[in-house]
Structure 1
Amino acid sequence: METAQLIAILDTEGQLLATAAEEAGTETKVPTCPGWQVRDLVRHTGMVHRWATAFVAERHTSYHPDEGLPDLDGTELMTWFREGHRRLVDTLAGAPADVDCWSFLPAPSPLAFWARRQAHETTVHRYDAESALGGTPSPIAVDFAIDGIDELLFGFHARKKSAVRTEVPRVLRVRAEDTDAVWTVRLSPEPPISERGELADADCELMGPAADLYLSLWNRRPFSGVTGDPALATLWRETSAITWSGPARR
Structure 2
Amino acid sequence: MRHIARVHSWTVAAGADPSGENVRAGTPPDDWDALLAWWEEQREALRKMFTAGPDAPAWLSFGNYTRTVGSWARRQAHEAAIHRIDAELARGGGTVQFDPAFAGDGIDELLAMLVWGRRDWSAFAADGTVLVHAEDIGRLWTLRLLPGKAPRLADTEQPFEPDVTVEGSADAVYRAVWRRPSAASVTGDAALLEPLAAP
TM-score (norm 2): 0.85
CA RMSD, aligned part only?
2.4
Give the aligned partner of residue 191 of structure 2: 234
Partner deviation per Cα, 1:156-185 (whole Å, 9 max, x = no partner): 223453659445x41110011222111111
One-letter amino acid of the structure 2 residue matched with residue 101 of structure 1: A
Q: How far is the alpha carbon of 1:53 from its aligned partner?
A: 0.9
One-letter amino acid of the structure 1 residue matched with residue 59 of structure 2: W
Q: How far is the alpha carbon of 1:209 from its aligned partner?
A: 1.1
Give the aligned partner of residue 176 of structure 2: 216
SS at 2:137's partner residue?
A: coil
Give the aligned partner of residue 16 of structure 1: none
SS at 1:154's partner residue?
A: helix
Gaps of 5+ in 1: 1-41, 244-250
Distance 1:240 1:97, change over 3 A: closer
One-letter amino acid of the structure 2 residue matched with residue 119 of structure 1: A
Q: How far is the alpha carbon of 1:64 from its aligned partner?
A: 4.0
Distance 1:173 1:69, change over 3 A: same
User: Does the Cα contact within 8 Å between 1:59 and 1:99 map onto a contact in 2?
Assistant: no
Q: How far is the alpha carbon of 1:222 from its aligned partner?
A: 4.7
**Count of residue pairs the alignment pairs up:** 195
Give the aligned partner of residue 102 of structure 1: 59
Give the aligned partner of residue 203 of structure 1: 163
Partner deviation per Cα, 1:23-46 (whole Å, 9 max, x = no partner): xxxxxxxxxxxxxxxxxxx11110
Q: How does 1:39-188 map to 2 (within 5 A)?
A: 42-56=1-15, 58-62=16-20, 64-92=22-50, 94-103=51-60, 104-107=62-65, 110-159=68-117, 161=119, 163=121, 165-166=124-125, 169-188=127-146
Gaps of 5+ in 2: none
Distance 1:80 1:59, change over 3 A: same
CA–CA separation in structure 1 for the residues paired with 2:31 and 2:170 = 35
Partner deviation per Cα, 1:116-146 (whole Å, 9 max, x = no partner): 0111111111111111111111221111111
CA–CA separation in structure 2 for the residues paired with 1:105 and 1:112 = 15
TM-score (norm 1): 0.69
Give the aligned partner of residue 152 of structure 2: 193
**Greater relative contact order (Cα < 8 A, sep 6+):** 1
CA–CA separation in structure 2 for the residues paired with 1:198 and 1:75 = 53
Q: How far is the alpha carbon of 1:105 from its aligned partner?
A: 4.1
CA–CA separation in structure 2 for the residues paired with 1:165 and 1:223 = 27
Q: Percent identity?
A: 33
